[in-house]
């Protein structure tokens, strides 16, 4: 099983899960369908299914176009609001695509229908993967748009934490540096956070993605997994895990990533409006996900 990471929009990821022997593939959150189809064609793949983590347009808007382009294509998700949905899944439902297995994990909070997908291949020694959409990010978690701290606590500490620690985490957005800067604020003495932030900055300098991490790594530096740590409790002023989660998310919602100073040439370009990027016509509808 091979996972192809595809950067799209401003900071989103969509993915192709490829069974290398048959060249069949599953797409995860294919919000830019024409680009996905170009890659499918170029690599000689057959797209057999779409896994959608939640209904937000920057994850689900490509579904209808893909179903129209590929007759019989199945689109899986747990929310009726997902565009192009053909197969509604439920918690713990397992799907089988040749040697690739998918377990649907219901994780409501960011939206009321959020679902993560735990994926592994038969008779394969490689680590399994989990596609977390906007529930879990590297170093952070999604905003509680349609849910509660109790739900996110359950999602992280009961659902995702029950998976094997070596599970690779493929999330929906590239928010890693901002998340780790917040983690540094929460736990300034955490050496794992410092190491990961330095690594993430180097990846960013090389224009490379920071996905995947592993669940074990998240336990080491993601404050939303570390609710019982004294430093995290001290930062929030709370000790009960759900209250720590609630306070932590409130502080993260207010957190602004410290901006590095721009070089003079960039400042001049900014003043003249040369760095103003054109937004997608639906861009104003997106709320921050992290």
Question: Catalytic residue positions?
Answer: 54, 56, 58-59, 110, 134, 173
Q: What are phi and psi for residue 233, nearest 5 degrees? A: -65, -40
d(CA 221, CA 195): 10
β-strands 46-51, 74-77 pairing? parallel
Cα atoms in the Cβ-side hemisphere of radius 13 Å centred on 5: 19
Spatial CA neighbour of 28 closest among 67, 60, 66, 69: 60
Cβ atoms of 158 and 227 within 8 Å: the answer is: no
Which residues, at least 6 apart from 143, have a Cβ–Cβ distance to it below 8 Å? 110, 134, 249, 253, 287, 288, 289, 290
β-strands 12-19, 24-28 pairing? antiparallel
Local structure of 122: helix, strand or coil = coil
Spatial CA neighbour of 152 closest among 98, 87, 46, 227: 227
Local structure of 15: helix, strand or coil = strand
Rg (CA), the chain: 19
Which residues, at least 6 apart from 179, have a Cβ–Cβ distance to it below 8 Å? 137, 138, 139, 140, 222, 290
Name residue 147's beta-bridge partners.
none
């Amino acid at each position: 099983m091979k996972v192809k990471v595809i950067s799209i929009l401003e900071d989103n990821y969509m993915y192709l899960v490829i069974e290398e022997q048959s060249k069949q593939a599953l797409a995860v959150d294919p919000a830019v369908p024409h680009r996905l189809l170009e890659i499918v064609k170029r690599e000689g793949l057959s797209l057999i299914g779409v896994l959608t983590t939640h209904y937000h347009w920057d994850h689900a808007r490509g579904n209808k176009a893909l179903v129209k382009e590929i007759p019989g294509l199945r689109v899986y998700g747990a929310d009726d609001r997902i565009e192009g949905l053909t197969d509604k899944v439920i918690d713990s439902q397992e799907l089988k695509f040749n040697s690739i297995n998918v377990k649907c994990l219901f994780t409501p909070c960011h939206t009321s229908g959020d679902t993560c997908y735990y994926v592994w291949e038969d008779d394969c020694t490689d680590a399994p993967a989990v596609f977390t959409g906007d529930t879990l990010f590297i170093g952070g978690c999604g905003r509680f748009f349609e849910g509660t701290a109790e739900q996110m606590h359950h999602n992280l500490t009961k659902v995702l934490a029950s998976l094997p620690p070596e599970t690779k985490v493929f999330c929906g957005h590239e928010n890693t540096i901002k998340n780790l800067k917040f983690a540094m604020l929460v736990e300034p003495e955490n050496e794992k956070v410092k190491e990961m932030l330095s690594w993430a900055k180097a990846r960013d300098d090389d224009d490379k993605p920071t996905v995947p991490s592993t669940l074990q790594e998240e336990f080491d530096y993601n404050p939303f997994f570390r609710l019982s740590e004294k430093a995290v409790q001290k930062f929030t002023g709370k000790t009960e895990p759900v209250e720590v989660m609630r306070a932590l998310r409130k502080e993260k919602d207010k957190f602004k990533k410290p901006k590095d100073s721009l070089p003079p040439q960039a400042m001049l370009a900014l003043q003249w409006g040369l760095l103003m990027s054109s937004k997608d016509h639906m861009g104003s509808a997106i709320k921050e996900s992290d």
